[in-house]
Chain A
Amino acid sequence: MSERLVTESVSPELLLTYYKKLLELRLFELKVQELYRNGRLPGFVHLYVGEEAVAVGVCSNLEARDLVFSTHRGHGHALAKGVPSTIVLAELWGKVTGSSGGRGGSMHMYAPEYGFMGTNGIVGAPIPLATGAALSAKMRKKQQVVVCFFGDGAVNSGSFHEAVNMGAVWNLPVVYVCENNLYATEMAFLRATKNTNVASRAAAYGLPGVAVDGQDVVAVHEVASEAVRRARGDGGPTLIECKTYRYVGHHEGDPGTDYRTRDEVQHWKQRDPVKIARKLLLDLGLDENQLQAADQEVERLIDDAVEFAEKSPEPRAESVRDHVF
């Protein structure tokens, strides 16, 4: 794996920034899990633990003006697109300082000021939305790229078929990123579909489709880099399938063990995206002290987010009717 690093796509300096982002996503979600289990956060949360290399590898290719549409498992996408962990956590806490002022929560979190066009409570729904945003980008001739994340559950929905087909025929600047974590809630992908090769479905729409190891941030970065370049150059959409896994249940409260074996979970944990990136950095010559400094930097970031969110005020009850229209 370190051999591919020697390809000029990622320097050690860049890889260190990816590593810190991976760790931020990981520690953020573990903190959310702790707060949620302690009854501090309202609502429901779907955690991204184990899938971090997808968001970081893809978003490392994006510019501030580019747009990301995300899913119900979207905290990681928001952070990877550059939304500060402070306002993401404040939103999960229902605070007025949150990215949606406490009106959205985990699955309805919007930060257009960072190009983050929302998590989404409806599986498949962001695919048409992202396709339309890409149409807008193309019409406005801004060389803006749109990325749409979705899970393996979404690819069996009508939204996927209709939207990817439109994105293809209109040659839109959009990258469709399937995070294939093998389960749609509890439904194993191989029980839900005959063709479990998501990337191969691209051929049905006349698109390039590519599958990649979703636990390897460098591999994801490289594949996404080509797709983003194609989109920005008016070369049309790409379908990327990132093979990944969530270490946790579907949502907090689901142990995730009724439909998955302990062995399977352990197998995937052997290929942990944070550890893989850390090992690559050591192989490239960084020393343990440098990495510990990076770790501490990220830990402080998460502590700051908790302090910010915890101390932030609740929305005023009288504001309940604001922003309906």
Chain B
Amino acid sequence: MSDQGRVINYGDAGVEALREEMRRDPSIVYIGQGIGPRGGNFRQTRGLWKEFGDDRLRDTGICELGATGAAIGAAMAGTRTVVDEVFLDFALEAITQIVQQAANISYMSNGKIKAPVVFRGAMGAVRNAGAHHSHTFYNWFANTPGLKVVLPSNPYDLKGLFKTALRDPGPVALIEHKSLYNAKCVVPEEEYLIPFGEARVVREGKDLTIVAMSRMVDLATKASAVLEAEGVSAEVIDPRTIVPLDRNRITNSIKKTGRLVVIDESPSSCSFAAELLAIAVEDCFDELQVPPQRINSLPVPNPFSPVLENQMIPSVDRIVGEVHKMMKSSRRKT
């Protein structure tokens, strides 16, 4: 990622990816609620309906099960589709179609039928939306064979990963974070693709490895700046896609630093952080100087009260505090 060039926000980067791909591939149909003239609840399709019209920007009623199933069926029949669940929470209305039909279809058909469909949804805590609009269950998807899971943490990655998703044999769960829609960075106007399965080293360091997903990458980066000022050099890694996972880049970093902390907005039990800790133990046991740690949201439904929700989700202070503890102890001499 360059710091020179045009700066746009996360929402616009997604729109740009869609516009480029829908121009390139006239078969792409986008299905969801409020994605036509309204341009999306999060403005995530703004301007597209004007260019592509009702046929390709298909507004539906409030029927995630039917709309998601239809997007999968269209994909099985040869039409590339995106189905916008808007809030990731609403994908639960359609979860049987995603897990039972889309994720299984390639295997069940012996590879004869593919479902090139992108499930798009925005997750996570933002502005105290409460328990029904804040879930972060991307780990469930990662535990579903046949489904790829993409977690863009910034506008540059969103554009490049979305474009890759729109060329993948599918299915792909593209999970944005609601609080990132106004995040900005340099995004090239020219075309680029980001391959799945390539983690990004956000920041190089030598004392510990912080792996973070989605919005937590921003928190990890801020924490690493605080730590840097204290003389602790943190390497921050963003997997970008958790299926497929760039296991090598992550484990190479852990082997280099000897310390791992994972920042994950899901609750800790059976989370993707738990998977990364297991990988660290499997692949880096001899190099680990201290037990690997994870910082997750507390295992409670997202509370409404700002005080309570702030207590629930990871914070820069929690990350810095955990790292302080990890830096004090050492299993072996460095």
Task: Tell me which of B29, B110, B146 contacts A135 (CB under 8 A).
Answer: B29
Contacts A132-B69, A132-B71; A125 near B111 (Cβ below 8 A): no
CB distance from B56 to the nearest CB of A (A): 8
**Residues 276-325 of A at the B interface (beta carbon under 8 Å):** 322-325
**Residues 70-101 of B at the A interface (beta carbon under 8 Å):** 70-79, 81, 96-97, 100-101
Contact: B55 with A139, CB < 8 Å?
A: yes
Contact: A127 with B111, CB < 8 Å?
A: no
Measured between beta carbons, the chain B residues less than 8 angstroms from A12 are none
Measured between beta carbons, the chain B residues less than 8 angstroms from A69 are 73
Contact: A162 with B73, CB < 8 Å?
A: no
Measured between beta carbons, the chain B residues less than 8 angstroms from A162 are 63, 65-67, 69
How far apart sit A162 and B69, CA to CA, in the bound complex (Å)?
Answer: 10
How far apart sit A117 and B146, CA to CA, in the bound complex (Å)?
Answer: 18
Any B CB within 8 A of the CB of A136:
yes
How far apart sit A325 and B146, CA to CA, in the bound complex (Å)?
Answer: 5
Measured between beta carbons, the chain B residues less than 8 angstroms from A117 are 73, 76-77, 113
Measured between beta carbons, the chain B residues less than 8 angstroms from A112 are 109, 112-113
Contacts A125-B69, A133-B74, A165-B63; A101 near B110 (Cβ below 8 A): yes
Contacts A140-B79, A165-B61, A166-B63; A135 near B74 (Cβ below 8 A): yes
Interface string of B40-67 (1 = CB under 8 A from A): 0000000000000001001011010111
Contact: B108 with A129, CB < 8 Å?
A: no
Any A CB within 8 A of the CB of B148:
yes
Task: Tell me which of B67, B77, B97, B112 contacts A136 (CB under 8 A).
Answer: B77
Measured between beta carbons, the chain B residues less than 8 angstroms from A100 are 108-110, 112
Measured between beta carbons, the chain A residues less than 8 angstroms from B9 are none
Contact: B109 with A104, CB < 8 Å?
A: yes
How far apart sit A159 and B96, CA to CA, in the bound complex (Å)?
Answer: 10
Contact: B100 with A125, CB < 8 Å?
A: yes
Contacts A117-B76, A136-B78; A128 near B109 (Cβ below 8 A): no
Contact: B60 with A166, CB < 8 Å?
A: yes
Number of interface residues of B (CB under 8 A): 41
Residue of A101, A136, A158, A322 contacting most chain B CB atoms (<10 Å): A136
Any A CB within 8 A of the CB of B169:
yes
Chain A: CB-nearest residue to B26: A139
Residue of A101, A125, A162 contacting most chain B CB atoms (<10 Å): A162
Any A CB within 8 A of the CB of B289:
no
Any A CB within 8 A of the CB of B179:
no
Any A CB within 8 A of the CB of B104:
yes
Any B CB within 8 A of the CB of A47:
no
Contact: B69 with A131, CB < 8 Å?
A: yes
Name 28 A/B residue pairs within 8 A (Cβ), A-sorted. Answer: A100-B109, A103-B109, A103-B110, A110-B113, A117-B73, A118-B109, A127-B69, A128-B67, A130-B73, A131-B70, A132-B69, A132-B77, A133-B76, A135-B70, A135-B73, A136-B75, A137-B77, A139-B74, A139-B79, A146-B77, A159-B66, A159-B69, A161-B66, A162-B63, A163-B70, A165-B61, A323-B110, A324-B106
Binding site for B on A (CB under 8 A): 67, 69, 99-101, 103-104, 108, 110-113, 117-118, 120-122, 125, 127-137, 139-140, 146, 158-159, 161-163, 165-166, 170, 322-325
Question: Which 5 interchain pairs have the tightest Cβ spacing?
Answer: A128-B69, A132-B73, A162-B66, A132-B70, A129-B73
Other CB < 8 Å A-B pairs besides A158-B65, A323-B106, A325-B148, 9 of them?
A99-B110, A103-B108, A125-B101, A127-B69, A131-B66, A161-B66, A166-B60, A170-B58, A325-B169
Binding site for A on B (CB under 8 A): 27, 29, 55, 58, 60-61, 63, 65-79, 81, 96-97, 100-101, 104-113, 145-146, 148, 169
